Amino acid sequence: MEPVAWGVLGATSRIAQKAVLPAIDGSEAARLVAVASESTPSDDYNTFGAPHPYDGYDALLDDDEVEAVYIPLPNKLHAEWTIKCAQAGKHVLCEKTLALSADEAEAMAQACETAAVQLMEAYVSPFHPRAQALDELLTSGRLGRIQYARSNFTVPIDSRDHRWRPEMGGGALLDLGIYCLSPLLSAAGRPVSELAASQVTSGSGIDISFGGWLGFGDEFATTFFCSFEGPFLQELEIVGTELIARVGQPYSPGAGDRKIELLGHDGERSNLEVEGNDPYRAMVEHFCAALRDAAALRHTPSDSIYLLRLFDRLRASVAGRNGGD
């Protein structure tokens, strides 16, 4: 398979520098062609040997050699630059969360469909073997009838970070919500029938903590909580009538995260062992395979739009609790 030629907008971003650029650079399925930054690079800015480093994003989009573009920009800029990439004929891997709203995500998906380019949200968790093993556990029936699931993701983020700024699309739900809600939706395997939510709001108006309850009917319910305050915490638990499955570090797994803990009726504990990997590299290689017609997208724009519709419903629930404020 011919390597896909990549460009990266906002290449100075932390996630690009620490995870996605190394994944592109280290994969035989990808070839790094260009990087672009509109901010002043720091001394440790690494272009990973890209032959075409640009000072502006438009210059990268004018590069005919670039086939696919990774966008790790703040949420507020996702729609603008995804649509510009599509108009330039570039495939797009856009950092989560795909858009500020479902309507915005639909406009992005439509622009990419019109331009006959692929669009995928850079949601990395499903590309770790442990996530795939958990899906197999659910479909196998080993857990029994699924009754309850919960997910929590808290990470202390300094208030000077752009994720605290409403004008940049900040907020805990937009930043962390996809990690908490996507595995709950997978466990349910059906649409949300009812919900409730609450949030803690900053002085600037963003949600710095957001929690909720999702009901799916048939005696199955879930809870979630995500926050920019408090100690670092990641956990996912799925309760069945036969077994409980617990996953530590489920949302930023690495090569060393290789087990799912299983709890039985009598308190017995066992571990389901899996292989570790670099999920960012697996995500990049999956997208490259999709661009070469060797795979179907595992995470589609429709998946992203459904999740954002759910975000809209959760926000409406909060507004209803607060009298519409």
| Domain at 88, CATH number | 3.40.50.720
What is the percentage of the chain residues whose pLDDT exceeds 70?
99
Q: Are residues 100 and 235 in the same domain?
A: no
Q: Are residues 149 and 232 in the same domain?
A: yes
Q: Compute how many other C-beta atoms are within 10 angstroms of the C-beta atom of residue 54.
A: 20
In a domain, 315, yes or no: no
In sequence order, what are the residues at sequence separation of 6 or more whose Cβ sits closer than 8 angstroms to the Cβ of residue 4? 29, 30, 31, 67, 68, 91, 287, 288, 291, 292
Q: How many residues does the chain have?
A: 325
Q: Are residues 35 and 103 in the same domain?
A: yes
- Tell me phi and psi for residue 284, to 5 degrees: -60, -45
Distance CA 249, CA 322 (A): 33
Residues linked to residue 196 through DSSP beta bridges, in sequence order: 213
Distance CA 318, CA 126 (A): 29
Q: What is the DSSP letter of 77?
A: G
How confident is the model at residue 324, as a pLDDT?
56
Residue 170 near residue 262, CB atoms below 8 Å = no
Q: Are residues 213 and 255 in the same domain?
A: yes
Distance CA 33, CA 43 (A): 21
Q: Are residues 147 and 271 in the same domain?
A: yes
Distance CA 273, CA 251 (A): 17
Q: At which residue do the structure tokens 């899996």 appear?
A: 274
Mean pLDDT over residues 225-247, rounded? 96
How confident is the model at residue 322, as a pLDDT?
72
Mean pLDDT over residues 228-256, rounded? 95
Distance CA 188, CA 133 (A): 16
Examine the pLDDT at 44 and tell me if it is beyond 90.
no
Amino acid at 122: A
- Domain boundaries, position 289: 4-124+281-299
